[in-house]
Amino acid sequence: MFDFPTGLTFHVGNYVSDLVDWLTVHWKTFFDGISNGLLWVFSHFNDFLIWMPWWFFVLVIFLLACQFKSVSSGILFAIFLILIGIFGYWDEMMYTLCLVISSVVISLIIGIPLGIFMAYSKRFEMIAKPILDGMQTMPTFVYLIPALFFFGLGLIPGVLSTIIYALPPVMRLTNLAIRGVPEEVVEASLSFGSSRWQLLTKVQIPQAMPTIMAGINQTTMMALAMVVVASMVGVKGLGLEVLTALGQIDVAKGFEAGISIVFLAIIIDRITLAISNTFQKK
């Protein structure tokens, strides 16, 4: 009377597993192409960051902070970076930064056009919103399971799971920003003979840029939040140091690696937020 009827049990996960197996066999060339392309981009970008002198990187961050925030913020961010180096995690920080930047760039390339399309198509918006809800609410560990089947252990499943997790904010806020452009402005632009492309590029996107920048900030922070989860499939960087410290119950190592992620998160958040505020003032 009180237990759920066992005869109504139905496992949809079996069909998902069969689909993953079929894709793994028949789409192997496609997934290998994606993997090789991402590895090539990531390895070259990471080599560039590692090659860059540490003092030059600190100087760049200092100048960015001075330009968009204040001199005191620049000094603070420079101290944070130097502390990460003192902890012995400079290369790991660069690897993590490479992972975050690569994931964010791919998320923006995919998310901003799709967000614009959502703003222009109500039907696509109705389809995309439940998918975005699922991407944001589904436990992040679930993303890693099919990614492991398609790409194996290593960097690629970590990057793809990070993209899936970080993509929704920029899509949602781009859609919201384009729809939020005042109708009077749109009608005035059309009345002066603007084409749809001119309306988008010269009116709607500039008007929507502050909200889009807020979406970029949120996407960046969500990508950074995935570094520890991504380390579970073999992605190097600060996340792997935290995971290793957890496995060894090493409080000192865990604190240093964890506070390094916090320092990096503060720097990225404050600079991207300051850039977003700059767009709002224009």
pLDDT tens-place string over residues 182-207? 888 888 887 877 788 888 888 888 88
In this predicted structure, the answer to whether residue 59 has a pLDDT above a threshold of 90 is: yes
Count structural domains, the chain: 1
In this predicted structure, the answer to whether residue 21 has a pLDDT above a threshold of 90 is: no
Q: Is residue 8 part of a domain?
A: no
Which pLDDT belongs to residue 77? 93
What are the distances in angstroms from CA 30 to CA 38, 129, 234? 13, 27, 22
pTM: 0.85
Task: At 8, list the tokens.
Answer: 């109504």
Task: Write the DSSP string, 150-210.
Answer: HH-SSHHHHHHHHHHHHHHHHHHHHHHHHHTS-HHHHHHHHHTT--HHHHIIIIIHHHHHH
Distance CA 208, CA 206 (A): 5
Query: How does pLDDT run across 127-164, given as a tens digit for each residue?
Result: 999 888 888 888 777 777 777 777 777 788 888 888 88
Which pLDDT belongs to residue 90? 92
Q: Is residue 73 part of a domain?
A: yes
Average pLDDT of the chain to the nearest whole number: 85
In this predicted structure, the answer to whether residue 34 has a pLDDT above a threshold of 90 is: no
> Which CATH number do you get for residue 266?
1.10.3720.10
What are the distances in angstroms from CA 264 to CA 39, 108, 198? 23, 20, 38
Asked whether 157 and 151 are in contact (CB, 8 A), the reply is: yes
Q: Is residue 202 part of a domain?
A: yes
Residue range 171-177: mean pLDDT, rounded? 91
Q: Is residue 214 part of a domain?
A: yes
Which pLDDT belongs to residue 3? 75
In this predicted structure, the answer to whether residue 107 has a pLDDT above a threshold of 80 is: yes
In this predicted structure, the answer to whether residue 274 has a pLDDT above a threshold of 80 is: yes
Residue range 249-259: mean pLDDT, rounded? 89
Q: Is residue 225 part of a domain?
A: yes
Q: Is residue 249 part of a domain?
A: yes
Structural domain for 207, as ranges: 13-281
In this predicted structure, the answer to whether residue 112 has a pLDDT above a threshold of 80 is: yes
Which pLDDT belongs to residue 174? 92
Q: Is residue 257 part of a domain?
A: yes
Q: Is residue 36 part of a domain?
A: yes
Query: How does pLDDT run across 210-226, given as a tens digit for each residue?
Result: 888 888 888 888 888 88
Give the position of tokens 């939040």.
Answer: 225
